[in-house]
Every structure is written in structure tokens, then in C-alpha cells.
Structure 1
Amino acid sequence: MFTNSQRQEERTGKYGTPRVEYLQQLVTQFQNASSEETKEKIVANLANFAYDPYNFTFLRQVKKLLNECFEYCNHRIFLVSCLNISCDVKQLNVIELFLDCLTEPNEKLVEFGIGGICNACADPANAALVTQNDGIPLIVQCLSSPVRSTVNYALGALYYLCNASNKEKILKPEVIDAIKSYAAASEVSTSFSNLAQAFLDKHVPQAY
């Protein structure tokens, strides 16, 4: 079930952590995690949040802080200057974290990252952010993944992303050929076939 502001307020209560701060905590936990399994769980959790339209704006607001000192006070995170410590800050929202995951050798991180992108790209502003951050080539690479769900998510993401301003980056002959092969593979995977055919029907002229 999708969330709205009233339902979210009822669930968190007066002293609960606001959604944007909770997402920030997840991003920070990902940055500080040393275990691949922990990172996988965090990205999977973020990808689930990306499915709910209520969170679309928050995904663009949340920032990731690198090489920083944190002070926690009343559920809020403050960047503090520590003696003899240089705090280099790079701002990175959840969408960019998902894109970073696509460059990882860990197939689970790639799967959950592209899943988050697919979910988030249903929102045009998030889709634009993916394009602005050079996400299209990374998503296209996912079409050749050995992980079936990764390919499914990549097809879904490209379906949402493709438009007049970026179609030249997506509708390349090798990409169209790959998607056509998935569309013709209904005996192997109905989900591949249906998603791929939906993409072709919407974005690829019959002349291709």
C-alpha cells in the first residue's frame, strides 16, 4: 500500500523520525558499512522505499556524506568540525547511490541498485536525474547481466527513461537488438518478453 502524508504522520507519531531523516540514516549506514551483506540489505531497503510515490521527492533530497564526522542530537545529524580532522563532504542523493551500485562487482548490489532506479524512474524528475548523472550507459550494461531480475529492472528503467531528449543514447542498434531478442524469448521468460515488447511498442518505430 502506498503512503501519504497523513498515514505517515500516524505511523511515526509525534516523536518518530521523519521519512527524509530515516532515509538519510540508511544512506549513512551504507557508507559506513564494511560488510557486503549489510550493504545489500540497505540498498534493498532503499529500493523498496523507491517503489512508493510518497518517497519520490525524498530520494532526491537525501544526501550522502563522505569522510565526515557526525554528531547525533535529537534524531538530527549535524556535520561537525573536529580538531585536526578535515571533513570532506560530497553530496549524493539516493538516486546517485543506486547508480553507484551499478558499478559494483557484487551482483546483488547491482540488482538492488537497478531495482531502485526502475522504481524511482516512474517519477519524471527522478528519471531526469538518472539521465543527468550519466546513468543510461550503466543501465544499458545491465541488459547483459546474468541475473534475470537485473535484466527485468533494466528493461523497466529504460521504458521510463526513453524520451525525445535522450532516445539517441538508448535507441542504438545493439540495444534495440538486445531488447528484440528478449521480446522474442517468451518461452524462456514471459516477463522478459512482455517488458521488452512494451518498450518496443512505445519507443521503437516499426521501421527499425
Structure 2
Amino acid sequence: MACKDSGSDRFEYLQNLVTEFQDTDCEESKEQVLANLANFAYDPRNMEDLRRLQVTELFLDMLTEENENFVEFGIGGLCNMSMERESRDEILRSGGIDLVKNCLSSRRDETVLSAITTLMNLTTASSRSLTTDEAVVQCMVRLSLSENPRMRNLATVYLEDYCPVEQVRRVREENQGQCQSALGIPLPKN
């Protein structure tokens, strides 16, 4: 089924995707649908339809799944949707910050990168205390030491542009001398 340019055709296509996700028992098919929905969330023309179809809630629900692909596509979709103000506000009203923060501990780089970017997009004057709490800053400090340059750079930008300078300094001092990996798992001693 091809997605056409007219608004009603686009809505119908997106609605069919959501229905397919809900009706199928095949995990591989669900993964494909989630990936498609996450891609459609990149286009601002689709935001109103995606919100109307409650895709924001679908993506949030995926963040608690065991299937790592579901989590990756869910956070990727939220990352795309959170760039738009109304969708961002819907994620905030739904209590999505904690679910997004949980994705920072994923073993998948793409999931962590999307989680960091989503937290950036969710940071507002009223949400800043939640998106820059002590645990997030500690995690970002560890991620800023990652061997993955994308992870290291994004975490550094987060620390520099979103977190209070004094808080970052304090966490760095507390962590100085501790032998930790980027995920906070102690490294074996030689």
C-alpha cells in the first residue's frame, strides 16, 4: 500500500499500520510496522494524525517491552515526535520522561542516542529538573567518556547545554578516580 499525499489517504494509511500492529501476533511484522511508524514520525505533516491515532502512547508502551527492537523503534519514534511542540507536551503529560530515562541503560547505541536526543527535546523550563536530575547527569558523565564518538559527543552536548554547570562539576568530581565503563559497570582490575 503506497502512502499518498492527500491528508485523508495519509491518515488512512497510518491507521492501517496501527491496526496491523494491533492485530498481528508476529513479532517480526510488529517490528516492521513500528519502524515504519517511527519513520513517519519524522515528517511534521504526520504529527496530528499520529497523535490522533495514539501512536505516542504506542511508542511509550514499547519502552517497557523485552524485545529490544520494540524499544529501539519506540524510542526512535518518540525522538522524532518530540521535536514537535504538541507531541513533546503530550509525552510530558504522559509521564514519558522516566520511560525515556530508562532507555539510557540500553546495550544498543541507537536506543541510547535516541534517548539522549529525546531528553533534549523534552527539556523545557518546567521539565528541566526531571531531565537533568542527578541520575541523568551521572549517566551523561559516564556516556561522555564512551569510546563511541557519537555517544561521547551527544552526551557532552547534553552536559554543556542542558545541565547546570555546578551539578556537572560536582558529579565529575565524585566520579573522578572511579574505574567505570560508559554504562557504569565497573571494569575488571588488571
Identify the TM-score tier after normalising by the shorter chain.
0.7 to 0.9
**1:18, 1:8 → 2: CA distance?**
7
Structure 1 residue 56 displacement after superposition: 1.7
Kindly tell me the number of residue pairs found equivalent between the two proteins.
165
Query: Which of 153, 159, 169 is the aligned partner of 1:200?
Result: 159
Structure 2, gaps ≥5 residues long: 168-190
Structure 1 ranges of 4+ moved more than 4 A: none
Computing the radius of gyration from Cα coordinates, the structure with the larger value is 1
Shift, 1:204, TM fit = 0.9
The CA deviation at 1:170 is 1.9
Q: TM-score, normalised by structure 2?
A: 0.82
CA-to-partner distance for each residue in 1:102-131, whole Å, 9 max, x for gaps? Answer: 111100000000000001111011111111
Structure 1 length-normalised TM: 0.75
Q: Percent identity?
A: 41
> Deviation digits for residues 149-194 of structure 1, max 9, x if unmatched?
1001000100100111112222111111101211232xx1111112
Aligned to 1:159: 120
Residue in 1 aligned with 2:19? 28
Q: Equivalent of 1:130, from 80, 83, 91?
A: 91
Which of the numbers 81, 102, 124 marks the counterpart of 1:141?
A: 102
Q: For 1:152-191, what aligned pairs fall within 5 Å after superposition?
A: 152-185=113-146, 188-191=147-150
More helix by share: 2
What is the distance in 2 between the residues matched to 1:33 and 1:129? 27
When the two chains are superposed, the root-mean-square deviation of aligned CA atoms in Å is 1.7
1:58 aligns to what?
A: 49
Given that 1:47 and 1:116 are in contact with CA atoms closer than 8 Å, whether structure 2 keeps it comes out as yes
